[in-house]
Structure 1
Amino acid sequence: MRKQLRTGDVAIAPLPGGGFGACQVSGFDGESVVVHALDWFSPEPPRLDDLHGAGPAILRRHRFREPIAQTSVAPRYHPLPPDFTWLGNLPVPAGVPTDVNSISTWDWPLIAVVLDRAWADLPAEVRDAYRLSRGADPVTVDLGDGPRVETAALGVLDLASYPVGRPVDWSVLERLPRCTQIRWSGPDRGLTAALERHPLIGSLVWFDAPETVDLSRTRVVHLTIRGDALRELNLPPRFRNLAIDGIASARTVHAPDDGRWLHLNLFEATPATVAPTGLSQVRSLSIDGAGVLPAGVVTAFPQTHTLTLRRSSAPGRLDTPAALTELPGLRLLTMLDAYALDAETFPDLPLDNLVIDGLRASTARDLRTRFRRSPVTLRLSGAKADRWLATNMDNPFRDWSDDNTRAGAAACRAYATALRALDALPRLAPPPPTSAGQAAGARPSTSARETGSRPSTDAAAVAHPAIAAVEPVLRELVDKLNALDEKFDIIDTIRREEAGDAFMALAARAGIPTTLADEWFDTWRDF
C-alpha cells in the first residue's frame, strides 16, 4: 500500500535491541523526505496522544554538527520499512530544520538514538578513557605473529590468526580505549571474559567457533559467527545483528524474545542449510549464498516482514519459491543478482514493495506487466540484455555497467582477457609458500590492503617460472583498471574491493601465493 506522507506525520517502530521509538516527517526537500527521531522510548508501542509534546531526539554521544537525530531519505530508493506504524499527525517541534545535509535510510534517526542510549549506559570510566585517549599514542600489540606497534586509536583488534597454543595477553585492551571490534578464531581462550570486562566492544567476528558460545554477559550487539562445531549460542540483551553461516546441522540460539529485536543473516546458505532454532520471532531476515538459495528455511521465521535474498554468484535460483507463502506478514522482498528469475518464479505474496537489483531485461518487462495494476510498488534496477548476460554472467565486473555502460563493458573485457590468458598458460608446478608459511590461494586474515603494510615474499617464490608467466597477465589487468578509473572515475570504495577480490581469485586460480598477490595488487593499482 502506498502512503502519501505529510509534514508532521508520526510513525512508531521497534528499536534494534528492544523497545519502541518514534519519528516524524520534518518536511520535504525536493523528492526526498526529511525525518527526525522524537525524544521517546518505551517498552510497549506508544499511542499518538503519548507523543504530544515530545521534542526532537538530541544526539550527545559525539560532538555532531547537527545534533538532532535527523536525515533525508529518497523514497525512490528506500521503501517505507514494514515495521513503521503511522499513527497520525502532530505539529513539528520548534527549531527542527526542514532540510539537512545527511542522506540515509528511514530508520537511521532511530538507530542513532539507540547508539546514543548505549553510549550513555556505558560506565563513566569507559567513556572518559575513550574521550581522553590520544589516538596517535603508540601501543605494542601481538596479533599472533609477534609484537607490532599500533596506535591507541586502533578500533579493530584482529586476533583471528593468533596461535591456539599460545596464551593471549588480554590486558592489551586496557591500552586500546577505542577498540570496538574483535576478530577471533577457535576456542574461547579468555575471549568472553575479556568482552565482559570491556563493554565498549560491541562487534565480534568469530571463525571456527566451538560447540557452545555464551555472550549473554557481554555488550556485544553485532556478531558474525561461523564454525561446523557450533551448536549453541547465547546472545546478550539489546542484541541487534546476527550473521551465522548456513551449515547443514541443527543449532540453537538463545536471544531476547526469540529474536524479536534483531536482524538475522544466514550466509553461505545452500539447499542443505538447517535454520537455527530459537529465533521464531525474527522480523528481518536476509539469506546469502551461491547458486541455489534455500527459500525453504524461511518457514522457521514465520513473523518475517522484511526478506533479502542475495546471491554471491550468478545466476542464482530459489529451490522452493512456494515456501515464501509461509510468510503471511511479508511486506518487503529484496532480491539481488536475480538473473535466473522469471516473472513466475515466485507466487503471489502479500507485498507492499518488491525490489530487484540485477535481472534480465526480458524478466523486467514481464514483471512490470504483472504488477502494473497491483498494490505492489515495484523497483527494478540493473536490468541487462539476455545476449549480454550470455557472455558476462560469470564476470565479477558485470554490474559496473549499471552506472557507466562503456566503463563496465571495458572492465568486463579486461577481466575476460586476463582469464583467457591465464587458462592458456601451460600448467606449471605451484611456487613454494611465502615466508609467512601460507600456501598458494590461502587468504590471510588481515591483508596488506587492510593494514597498509607490504608483505615480504621469498626470493625463491618470486623467481619461480609460474610467477614469471602469470605476473604480466595480472599486471595488464590492473593497468587496464587504472586507465578506466582515470578516464571514467568509476572505481569507488566498493568497486575497489570488488576489483581486489577478482584479482585475488585470478591469482589463486593461477597458484600465486596470497601474500605476493596482495603485494602486487597494492603496488600496481592507482585507485
Structure 2
Amino acid sequence: MGPESAGSAQRSHVDRLYHLPMITPQGGRRSAMVPDVEVDFGAGPTTVPSTMRYVDLTGNGRIRVPAQGAVDWSQLNKLPECITVEWSGADRGVVEAVAARQIRFLYWHDASGTVDLTGTGVTDVRLDGIGLRSVRLPESARVLLLREPPESLEVDAPESGHRMDLRLFSRGPDIRIPGGLSRVSELWLKVAGTVSASVLTGLTDLEELRVSFDDPPGVFADAQDLQAHRGLRTLQLDDAYDWDPGNLPELPSLRGLEINGTRRATATVVKARFKATDVRISIHGAKSEAWLAAHMSNPFRDWVEDSKPFGAAACEAYTRARSAIEALAPTASDRMAVAEHALRGLIAALNAIDAEYQLIDTLRREQAGEVFFELAAQAEVPVDQARRWFADRDF
C-alpha cells in the first residue's frame, strides 16, 4: 500500500463498508512450522496451506472441483481454520458442507431456485443468480448481499430481517427490496446512475442508509420520501453529484450525514443547513464544475482525492483506452489486436502511475480490475484472454 494520506484513510473506512469481509489465506511469509496439505475435491490434487481460511471453489482459484458430478466435501476437514467458502452454480452439497462445519461466510454465484441456509451457522451471505427465487436465512445471519436480485425474489429471515444489514447491488433500471425483509436496520443500495427513495417504502426499522452510484450523474430522487423513516440515524451518499439537498426532509433521529463525491455547491448548502445542529457532517471529494465537466464519466475521477497528479494521470489513461475501444469498427479485421493494444496500454499506464505515486492500494486495484474487464467486455474480448492481459500488472 502506498503512503498514508487523508484520502487513503478515508478509503480504508469506505473499503471496510464496501465489501463483505473477505477472509483470505494468511498473507506474508508463511512460517516453516505451518504444514501444507493435499486436497482433492474431485478434480485432481492441489497442495495448499493447512491454515487456509478462505476456499475459492468457483474454478478461479487454486483448488479445482469437477465440472459435474460429486464433490468431495470431506476435503474441507483438512482445512480446520476455513471459515469462508466461495461457490458457483448448483448446490451439489455445498449447503450441507457449510452446515457441517464452522463456515461463517458463504459467497455463492449463479445460485438458483431456493437456497435454504436455515441449518447452517453462516453470518455473512452473498448471493447472485438470475434463477434465484427464494432464500431462507438462519438466526445467525447478520449480513445479506444480493447482486442483481430478481424482481420476484423473496427472503425468509428471522423477524423479517430485524437488526440485519442488507446490501443490494444492481445496475438495472429498477431495484426492489425483496419481500420478507421489512425490518432490516441497515441498507446499502449500490446502483447505476439514479435511484428513488421511494424504493424504501415498507421498511419500518431503518436506522442506517447508504446509497452509492456507479455511474453518473448520481441522482438520489424523491429524497423527501425519507420522512417516513423517522428512526434513520445515519445517511451516506457516494458519488451523488446530482441531488438536491433542499429535498432532504427533517429527520429527527439523524445524527450523521456522510457525502463522498459531490459538487462544491452542494457541499456548501449541506454545511450551511446543518450548522449548529446535532448532525455530524462529513464531506469528501467535493469537486468544481470545471473538474466534473471534464471527468464526470471517468471511473477514476475520485483518485484525485489522494493526489491531483495521480488522479489526473489515471483519468487520462482511462480516456485513452476507452477512446480506442469505442473507435473499434465491429467488423474490423484487426479488432482484437487494437483492443489488446488499448487494454495492455491501460495496464502499462497504471503500472507506471503506481511506480511513481505508490497509491494504488487494494480498493484502487479492485476498481482498476472492474474498469479493465468492462472495457474488455465492450471490445468483446474473451474473459480468459482478458484475465491473462490483466495479470501483467505490477500494482
TM-score (norm 2): 0.83
Deviations 1:386-405 (A, max 9, x none): 12112211111100001101
Asked whether 1:511 is paired with 2:375, we answer no
Corresponding residue number in structure 1 for 2:337: 468
Counterparts of 1:178-197 in structure 2, within 5 Å, are 178-197=81-100
> In structure 2, what residue type is equivalent to 1:138?
V
Q: Hey, what does 1:151 align to over in structure 2?
A: 49
- 5 Å-filtered alignment, 1:368-383, equals 368-383=271-286
Note if contact 2:185-2:206 (Cα within 8 Å) is conserved in structure 1: yes
1:416 — aligned with what? 319
Indicate if the aligned counterparts of 1:164 and 1:186 stay in contact, CA closer than 8 A.
Answer: no
Cα 1:336–1:143 shift into 2, 3 Å: farther
Structure 1 counterpart of 2:355 = 486
3-state DSSP of counterpart to 1:313: coil
- Match of 2:315, as an amino acid? C
Consecutive unaligned residues in structure 1, runs of 5 or more? 1-75, 79-102, 109-132, 430-463
Task: Tell me the matched-pair count.
Answer: 366
Partner of 2:26: none
- The worse-fitting range, judged by mean Cα deviation, of 208-217 and 251-260 is 251-260
Identity %: 38
Equivalent AA in structure 1 for residue 220 of structure 2: L
Read off the aligned partner of 2:378 and give its amino acid letter: R
1:18 aligned residue = none
User: In 2, Cα distance between the equivalents of 1:173 and 1:473?
Assistant: 42
Conserved? CA contact 1:239–1:261, under 8 Å: no
Cα distance between partner residues in 1 of 2:360 and 2:150: 38
- 1:427 equivalenced with 2:296 (yes/no): no
Q: Work out the CA distance in 1 between the residues paired with 2:312 and 2:42.
A: 41
Give CA deviations for 1:316-352 in whole Å, capped at 9, x if unaligned. 2234322211111011101111111232243332321
Q: Is the 8 A contact 2:328 2:335 kept in 1?
A: no
Query: Counterpart in 2 of 1:456?
Result: none
Q: CA deviation at 1:380?
A: 0.8
Choose the corresponding residue for 1:290, options 188, 192, 202: 192
Q: Does structure 1 conserve the Cα–Cα contact (< 8 Å) formed by 2:41 and 2:66?
A: no
- Verify the 8 A CA contact 1:382 1:399 in the aligned structure 2: yes
Partner residue, 2:183: 281
Q: In the alignment, residue 72 of structure 2 is paired with which amino acid? A: D
Deviation at 1:203, TM superposition (A): 0.7
> Contact between 1:317 and 1:341, CA under 8 Å: does it hold in 2?
yes
Q: Which residue of 2 aligns with 1:337?
A: 239
8 Å CA contact retained: 1:270, 1:294: no
Q: 8 Å contact 1:245–1:269 — kept in the other structure?
A: no
Moved more, 372-381 or 390-399: 372-381
1:208 and 2:110 equivalent? Answer: yes
Secondary structure of the residue aligned to 1:211 is strand
Residue 140 of structure 2 corresponds to residue 140 of structure 1: no
Matched, 1:499 2:364: no
Q: SS in structure 2 opposite 1:253?
A: strand
Cα RMSD, aligned residues only: 2.9
User: Is 1:365 paired with 2:264?
Assistant: no
Cα pair distance change 1:411/1:297, threshold 3 Å: same
Whole-Å Cα distance in 1 between the matches of residues 133 and 82 of structure 2? Answer: 29
Higher-Rg structure is: 1
Change (3 A) 1:340 1:135: farther
Q: Which of 1 and 2 has higher RCO (CA within 8 Å, sep 6+)? A: 2
Q: Residue 330 of structure 2: SS of its match in structure 1?
A: coil
TM-score by length of 1: 0.64
Give the 5 Å matches for 1:245-284. 245=147, 247=149, 249-268=151-170, 270=172, 272-284=174-186
> Which segment drifts farther, 394-403 or 334-343?
334-343
Give the letter for the 2:55 counterpart.
Answer: L
Q: CA shift at 1:135, angstroms?
A: 4.5
Shift of 1:284: 1.4
Contact 1:134/1:152 (<8 A) preserved = no
Partner of 2:4: none
Following superposition, the deviation at residue 77 of structure 1 comes to 7.1
**Separation of aligned partners in 1, 2:117 and 2:355:** 47
- Could you tell me whether the CA contact under 8 Å between 1:304 and 1:327 is conserved in 2? yes
User: Would the aligned equivalents of 1:202 and 1:221 in 2 still touch at CA under 8 Å?
Assistant: yes
3-state DSSP class of the match of 2:246? coil
Match of 1:243 among 136, 142, 145: 145
Task: State whether structure 2 residue 171 is matched by structure 1 residue 171.
Answer: no
Residues 319-358 of structure 1 mapped to structure 2, 5 A cutoff: 319-350=221-252, 351-358=254-261
C-alpha contact (below 8 Å) 2:325/2:339 kept by paired residues: yes
Q: Which moved more, 1:303-312 or 1:159-168?
A: 159-168
3-state DSSP of counterpart to 1:257: helix
